[in-house]
Amino acid sequence: MAIDVVIPALGESITEATVGEWLKKPGEAVNADEPIVSLETDKVAVEVPAPSAGVLSEQLAAVGDTVNVGAVIARLEAGKGAAPAKAAAKSAEPAPAKAAAPAPSGAKQSPAVTVALAETGVDAASVQGTGKDGRLTKGDVRSAATAPAAAASAPAAGTRQEERVRMTRLRQTIARRLKEAQNTAAMLTTFNDVDMTAVMEARDRYKDMFEKKHGVRLGFMSFFTKACCLALKDVPSVNAAIEGDEIVYRNYADIGVAVSSPGGLVVPILRNADALSFAETEKAIGDFGRRARDGQLKIDELQGGTFTISNGGVFGSLLSTPILNPPQSGVLGMHRIEERPVVRDGQIVVRPMMYLALSYDHRLIDGREAVTFLVRVKEALEDPTRLVLDL
């Protein structure tokens, strides 16, 4: 009996996706709930599982095709597949250990591996997988891309080559939304700097106790998140959005935290960040970062948001003008901490300084409000007691 494999709902407002990779070939057996195809949406990669055990009989779309939610993407012949994994494990006899073999073509790969292969141009069949059952890991792909063998096969000096690589759906979406932000908003950036001495001292003083109690390291992002939440209360227009001819003000703060993924920059959302503790904030941000690297963020975690924080400092950026994430009206850019001479009480001293940049929609936010917001953030970071006393 033939069973249709249907593309499931992919999230609010997402109606289509691109076929990224087939994880199973026609004629191969699949277990119930085993992923058979990876799809690229506007935000993340999603794997579509088999609805039941069987044999993949048809692939109804090719890699690179655009497919709609609810469409039939493949068909299975039921009753001919492998036994469920648990049952198979019970009846299986122990087998002698074997050396890891190269990952076979068509073997299941994570979305992160799929993106890494596309970015590096590495042939999956040429890489020896070190994961379970010889499957590829992202590290395998990166190692293969930088291996001496790759250098040995490089073209001779003086030759000129070009390579064309299809943009992932995520990269296309990032490019489109950034351009839309420039075309739609009246973007302007205001700068300030902050003396990080107090935050660094507080972090150094309490980091061991914090990690012992909460099981997570105390970083700078929780300080900045808290400082932004306080500033958003004082300057609500930075937390607002334009919808048609109306301004929507919010009494909550859903903070987007820009993190890197193999396919580009993504912005998972800290819901109700104003109500989170330092520990809850650090745990959530750390979890976002890990799952972004592995391509495991969920679509609903990337939707919404009222304000964004982008930390270019982790890559060494000294100064930048971040671009808005529509329909948000503000984004704060953090940068690297650098010791610089400053004047304190008439004396030149060396302090760890960071430049802050607030890009904002000038249609909604006046210059005075933008400056006030940055000053509030600066005050809270230079005197972290304000974060506890809600000042």
Going along the chain from its start, the domains and CATH numbers come out as 1-83 (2.40.50.100), 102-146 (4.10.320), 186-389 (3.30.559.10)
**Residue in this structure with the two tokens 């960040």, named with its chain if needed:** 273
- Mention every residue, 6+ apart, whose C-beta is less than 8 A from residue 329: 185, 237, 238, 239, 240, 241, 242, 360, 361, 364, 365
Cα torsion 271, 276, 282, 285 to 10°: value is 0
Res 78: pLDDT: 80
Instruction: Tell me whether residue 195 is one of the annotated catalytic residues.
Output: no
Residue 96 pLDDT: 43
For residue 131, what pLDDT is reported?
A: 64
Picking from 254, 262, 347, 363, the residue whose alpha carbon sits closest to that of residue 309 is: 254
- For residue 331, give the nearest of 185, 135, 216, 137 by alpha carbon: 185
CB contact at 8 A, 109 and 132? no
Would you call 300 a catalytic residue per the annotation? no
- Quick one: which of 315, 318, 316 has its CA closest to 265? 315
DSSP letter for each residue of 69-86: TT-EEEEEEET-SPPPHH
Q: What is the pLDDT along the chain (391 residues), one digit of tens a residue?
A: 788 888 888 766 678 888 888 888 888 888 888 888 888 776 677 888 888 888 888 888 888 888 888 889 888 888 654 444 343 333 334 444 444 444 444 475 666 677 677 767 777 777 877 765 677 776 677 677 766 554 455 566 778 888 888 777 777 877 888 888 888 889 999 999 999 999 999 999 999 999 999 999 999 999 999 999 999 999 999 999 999 999 999 999 999 998 887 767 788 999 999 999 999 999 999 999 888 887 788 878 888 899 999 998 888 899 999 999 888 999 999 999 999 999 999 999 999 999 999 999 999 999 999 999 999 999 999 999 888 877 6
Active-site pick, 193, 287, 294, 362:
362
Q: Which of 4, 366, 383, 390 is catalytic?
A: 366
User: What pTM value is reported for the model?
Assistant: 0.66
What are 31's two structure tokens?
């277990």
Residues comprising the chain, all counted: 391
Q: Which amino acid is at 365?
A: I
